[in-house]
Amino acid sequence: MARVAVVTGGTRGIGRAICETLMGDGFTVIASYAGNDDAARAFTDETGIATYKFDVGDFDATQQACAKIAEEVGPIDVVVNNAGITRDGTLLRMSYEEWDDVMRTNLGGCFNMAKAAFEGMKDRKWGRIINIGSINGQAGQYGQVNYAAAKSGIHGFTKALAQEGARYGITVNAIAPGYIDTDMVAAVPENVLEKIVAKIPVGRLGQASEIARGVSFLAAEEGAFVTGSTLSINGGQHMY
């Protein structure tokens, strides 16, 4: 039977490309999303991939949704913690809610999903947890103390959980994308984006499919010896 992969925030952007690639690899793929029903419907129509709507930042909702997925589709073998948001602003302008929303979603979501899936992976002695970090978690970014802290936290979370999973055949890795051409980056003002692209040695934004290829590598059977690592896919913008 095909292994089951759950991709959070799988209906748009990078998550969508990850879903399509993992489906091509032979996984049974489930995409989660937060609230954009139209995008989710279009995604399912175009890909045939089922969606589940829940807030990954909500612990109880995530446990319930993952239990439902396990019951309706099968035990979760692969978790891709991709759901993420930005609430940018300098520290002096950032509200506590903007800090908290980003921490809950981007970092809390990884904990909530791992809690839901790890025990079953341990029992079955096989699992893959792949966390989408960010170049801005590695290097920091003006106006993003919330986002950089959450993404940096993902890299620590990855290394710690990798040590817990190793003896059970569970690998835990992170991917740190650079600037990728998605809705999230479309929200960056054009003059700022031009300056960002000028700093990318390969001279362009990345494509979502280029991140998905990294996920595919880590999710594969042959990925079993890679754990606790961070794969930077950023066009050479930050060499870490």
What tokens were used for 191?
A: 């003059």
d(CA 66, CA 186): 31
| Residues composing the chain | 240
d(CA 82, CA 106): 8
E-state strands within the chain: 4-7, 28-33, 50-53, 76-81, 127-132, 170-177, 230-233
- x-or-dash pattern for ligand NDP, window 65-84, by CB under 6 A? -----------------xxx
Of residues 23 and 34, the one with the C-beta less far from ligand NDP: 34
* Residue 17 CB, nearest approach to ligand NDP (Å): 8
Residue 98's closest CA among 155, 150, 54, 133? 150
Establish whether 96 is a catalytic residue. Answer: no
* Residue 94 CB, nearest approach to ligand NDP (Å): 17
- x-or-dash pattern for ligand NDP, window 134-173, by CB under 6 A? x---------------------------------------
Of residues 70 and 237, the one with the C-beta less far from ligand NDP: 237
- List Cβ neighbours of 194 (8 Å cut-off, separation of 6 or more): none
Is residue 71 exposed (0-12), middle (13-18) or buried (19+ Cβ within 10 Å)?
exposed
Q: Segment near ligand NDP (CB under 6 A), from 9-17, 120-128, 161-169, 194-202? A: 9-17
Of residues 122 and 207, the one with the C-beta less far from ligand NDP: 207
* Residue 194 CB, nearest approach to ligand NDP (Å): 15
Of residues 3 and 12, the one with the C-beta less far from ligand NDP: 12
CA dist 198 to 48, 183, 188, Å?
A: 38, 20, 15
Provide the annotated active-site residues: 147
Given the rule CB under 6 A, which residues bind ligand NDP? 8-9, 11-15, 32-36, 39, 55-57, 82-85, 105, 132, 134, 177, 179-180, 182-185
